[in-house]
Amino acid sequence: MRQSNAYIIIFSTITTVLVGGLLATASQVLKPAQERSMELDTKRQILGAVMQLKPGDDVLKIFDDRISSLIVNYKGEEIVRTSNTGDTILAEDLNLGREFKAAPEERAFPVFIFHKEGSDEVEAYIFPVYGRGLWDNIWGYIALETDLKTIKGARFDHAGETPGLGARITEGEIQNRFIGKKMYDNAGQFVSVRMLKGERNPSDKLDEHHVDGLSGATLTTKGVNEMIQNYFGYYDAYIQKLKNQTAS
């Protein structure tokens, strides 16, 4: 009886329903905790671009104290995004992946402003970037100094790059290669910062607009280059506006 087709079909059906039900319940029960974890992780990454976080730091409190945020469009104008229920969406809650699907002219671009401790003085500007890696989407947070051209720090993350190859963009050693590089040349022209093909490039190739690449992950680095180039292109109008403000 145990080997009959009918038994097998019934057995499989019951197994499927049980397993499916269990996983669906688990997913629902754990969802709030997972969302909290992800919010914490996003804020940790944003702060990670501008400061060294120590274990035990209250990330949420530091974020609240020192970061102010706004949303701009590609023309550099400040805009307000509302959710379906009519609430204003904060820049840190904006779903960059969803914005990425829209045409650049319709996207909302969050900007985070990092203030000096206990004052309103600006210490750095943090610009989120988003793009395609080799297997899935990649994103990051790039912080510029107050001169609005030198990179103060960078954080990258990914959804599905190959561990040990493309996934290395999450490593501090790789991200630190971006520190001190320049987004704009001396004439104020936007040139972006690119990762080279291959690793251990001779230092004469690594000028202020180039960083050493990742061996075995050329397509991921290409994704990183495109992502930075595109997004800083979109942020350009806002950055020029900021520069004019600070100049005057």
Partner 1 sequence: MSVGTVDKPDVKKAAEPLLSKRRKKLVTDPLNDDNPITVQVLGICSALAVTVQLEPTMVMGVAVTLVVVFSNVIISLLRNLIPNRVRIIVQLAVIATLVTLVSEVLKAYYFNMYKMLSVFVGLIITNCILMGRLEAFAMGNKPYDSMLDGLGSGLGYTWIILSVAFFRELLGSGSLFGYPVFEAMGIQNFPTNGLMVTSVGAFIILGLIVWVQRTLTGYVEH
Q: Which CB, 41 or 65, lies closer to partner 1?
A: 41
CA atoms within 13 A on the CB side of 205: 12
Q: Which CB, 11 or 106, lies closer to partner 1?
A: 11
DSSP string, 68-85: EEEEE-TTS-B---B-TT
Q: What residues numbered 24-63 form the site for partner 1, per CB under 8 A?
A: 26-27, 30, 33-34, 37-38, 40-41
Q: How far is the CB of 83 from partner 1 (least distance, A)?
A: 24
Q: Which CB, 43 or 152, lies closer to partner 1?
A: 43
Q: Which among 22-30, 104-112, 140-148, 180-188 is the span making contact with partner 1, rule CB under 8 A?
A: 22-30
- 195/193 Cα distance (integer angstroms): 7
Which candidate, 154, 161, 155, places its Cα nearest to that of 137?
Answer: 161
Q: Which among 125-133, 164-172, 207-215, 229-237 is the span making contact with partner 1, rule CB under 8 A?
A: 164-172
Contact between 247 and partner 1 per CB under 8 A: no
Q: What residues numbered 167-206 form the site for partner 1, per CB under 8 A?
A: 167, 170
What does the per-residue mask of binding to partner 1 show for 219-238, with x meaning CB under 8 A?
--------------------
Q: What values do phi and psi take at 130, rounded to 5?
A: -150, 140
- 34/47 Cα distance (integer angstroms): 20
- 101/232 Cα distance (integer angstroms): 17
Reported in sequence order, the residue ranges of the chain that DSSP labels E, i.e. its strands, are: 67-72, 109-115, 122-132, 137-144, 151-158, 194-195, 210-211
Contact between 21 and partner 1 per CB under 8 A: no
Structure token digits, residue 152 = 């103060």
Which residues would be at the binding site for partner 1 (CB under 8 A)? 2-3, 7-8, 11-12, 15-16, 19, 22-23, 26-27, 30, 33-34, 37-38, 40-41, 163-164, 167, 170
